[in-house]
Amino acid sequence: MTTVLIVDDQALQRLGFGMILEQHPDMTVVGEAAHGAEAVRMTAELRPDVVLMDVRMPGMDGIEATRRIVESGGRSRVLVLTTFDQDEYAYNALRAGASGFLLKHAQPDELVFGIRAVAAGDAVIAPGLTRKLIDAFSDRLPGQTPVQQRRLSGLTEREREVLVAIATGLSNAEIAARLHVAETTVKSHVSRILTKIGVRDRVQAVIFAYDTGLVRPA
């Protein structure tokens, strides 16, 4: 059973998400929060698998709430919901430690898939938005730090190749086809890459790839 905390300042939005999720027997909504501070408190109390996080809310916004939830070291993972005209908020949320983001107008099956993926330890980004998001804010990407440089130098040539593929939005199956290797081999590479560069998931790996200049915006 995947437990979900819904965070949104709009009651009707929370109701809609709840109705979608409760239709699936492997999911249950354990609580609802109307603002960031409440989300942080309820996450600590309920320890949900996934926090479905809105960005713009009164008081503490979703970005700060995400940062506090991630920094607490708990088991809960954050999936941010946004709209494309809020891409700056989504970018900042990913840097705060969110495991991904989806557009609010995503189809119900996309929402359910995203929650399941995040709960399983994977990451999810709304299709087609990774490159647009990075392109839009490439001038804000910081330079490579000594720690990042050291971690990047620890990757093998093949691991760098896989990291570049991840950063361009390819799935494990697509990477396997490109490199002519088994998908299980790609999964092993991804696991080692995440460990070596010190990040939690694929989303953070994408940010690392751009931060270090391994991949440049188009």
**Residue 172 and residue 72 share a domain:** no
Residue 135 counted as domain residue: no
Taking the C-alpha atoms of residue 45 and residue 78, their distance in angstroms, rounded to an integer, is 15
**Residue 20 and residue 66 share a domain:** yes
pLDDT at 131: 56
**Residue 25 and residue 122 share a domain:** yes
Q: How many helices (H) and strands (E) does the chain have?
A: 11, 6
pLDDT at 204: 79
User: Tens digits of per-residue pLDDT, 3-25?
Assistant: 999 999 999 999 999 999 999 99
**Residue 11 and residue 105 share a domain:** yes
pLDDT at 67: 92
Instruction: Find the domain containing 8 and state its range.
Output: 2-127
**Residue 159 and residue 102 share a domain:** no
**CATH number for 185:** 1.10.10.10
Cβ(203)–Cβ(123) under 8 Å?
A: yes
pLDDT at 12: 92
Helix axes 172-179, 157-167, angle to 10 degrees: 130
**Residue 121 and residue 164 share a domain:** no
**Residue 78 and residue 160 share a domain:** no
Q: What is the mean pLDDT of residues 42-59?
A: 94
User: Tens digits of per-residue pLDDT, 127-148?
Assistant: 556 556 655 555 555 555 667 7
Q: Which of 32-46, 78-92, 137-151, 171-185 has the lowest mean pLDDT?
A: 137-151
Q: Which of 78, 103, 127 is the last residue of a domain?
A: 127
In the chain, pLDDT over 90 holds for what percent of residues?
Answer: 49
**Residue 122 and residue 30 share a domain:** yes
**Residue 100 and residue 48 share a domain:** yes
**Residue 106 and residue 50 share a domain:** yes
Number of domains in the chain: 2
Token pair for 70: 């991630």
**Residue 48 and residue 73 share a domain:** yes
User: Tens digits of per-residue pLDDT, 65-90?
Assistant: 999 999 898 889 999 987 755 556 66
pLDDT at 213: 80
CA nearest neighbour of 155 among 94, 99, 218, 199: 199
**Residue 87 and residue 19 share a domain:** yes
**CATH number for 86:** 3.40.50.2300
Taking the C-alpha atoms of residue 94 and residue 173, their distance in angstroms, rounded to an integer, is 24
Residue 29 counted as domain residue: yes
pLDDT at 128: 58
